[in-house]
Amino acid sequence: MFRRNPKVAPPGVAPPTGFRSAPPAPAAGAPFGATLHDATVRMEKQESKTSANLQRVTNELEAAKAELRRCTASGAPPSSQALYKKRVLHKMRERNMLQAQLGHAANRAFNMQQVSAAKEGMESARDTVAIMQAGQAELKTLQASVDIDKAQDVMDDMADTLADVEDVNEALSYDIGSAVVDETELEAEMDGLEAELAGGTASYVPAAPPMAVPSYAGGAASTPGVPSYASSYAASSASESPYAAPQR
């Protein structure tokens, strides 16, 4: 008895009575509607299932071997021993078959993982190139909005401004007291203090201000820069001591 194939309506046309819609066509590049991720998951599940079956058959094989040893040790008839031997041989064949399937499944899963990793790497590279292109376009737009000559002028003005600020800071930080303090006298006083602290006998004695030394011969004062007091001594009375201080 032959089975009649059902009539199928053309795609995009409503099926009349007695017709049915055509099955959806598989997606382009994805056989049977599967994606690379779905295929990888399916391969991993198959590998896990095969590994579980192999473990189960291995345990059954060990049990069959134990039964064969017990039967042989108990002196069972050859027919019983042949039955246990047949069971052990069957489990050995099943174990070897599952081992081969597990190897194939592991290789396929590994290949799918490699393809998946390569696909992810290419997608990442594609996104990176797109991002870099967009960034380059934005950078060119920003660069066009900046005039290099204006930027150089701004930097020159900034350098001049900083130089002026430094001049102001130096002017404000000038030590006013140094104009009225004799640094040589301070150094001499410090040297005398250090000698005294070191156990020496040297001590600092502040220098007296220059004083005029009168000349009794009618000449000018011996100290340069000090006015002569000869006229004052000439005008003084004879009763005054010649060593008295000059009268102004």
Q: Is residue 241 part of a domain?
A: no
Q: Is the pLDDT of residue 241 over 60?
A: no
At residue 46, the pLDDT reads: 87
Determine, yes or no, domain membership for 243. no
User: SS3 sequence, 85-129?
Assistant: HHHHHHHHHHHHHHHHHHHHHHHHHHHHHHHHHHHHHHHHHHHHH
DSSP 20: B
Q: Supply the range of the domain harboring residue 128.
A: 31-144
Q: Using one digit for the tens of pLDDT, what is the confidence trace for 76-116?
A: 888 888 888 999 999 999 999 999 999 998 888 888 888 88
204 in a structural domain: no
Q: What is the pLDDT of residue 106?
A: 87
Is 85 contained in some domain?
yes
Q: What is the pLDDT, as a whole number, of residue 71? A: 85
Question: pTM of the full predicted structure?
Answer: 0.40
Let me know if residue 19 belongs to a domain: no
Tell me which DSSP letter residue 8 carries.
B
Number of domains into which the chain is organized? 1
**Model confidence pLDDT, tens digit, residues 150-205:** 989 999 999 999 999 999 998 888 777 665 667 788 788 888 888 888 876 555 55
Taking only the tens place, the pLDDT of each residue in 106-131 is 888 888 888 888 988 999 999 999 99
Label residue 33 by pLDDT band (50, 70, 90): very low
- Residue 176 contacts residue 183 (beta carbons within 8 Å): no
Percent of the chain's residues with pLDDT above 90: 29
Segment (H or E) for 145: none
> Does 231 fall in a domain?
no
| DSSP β-bridge partners for residue 20 | 8
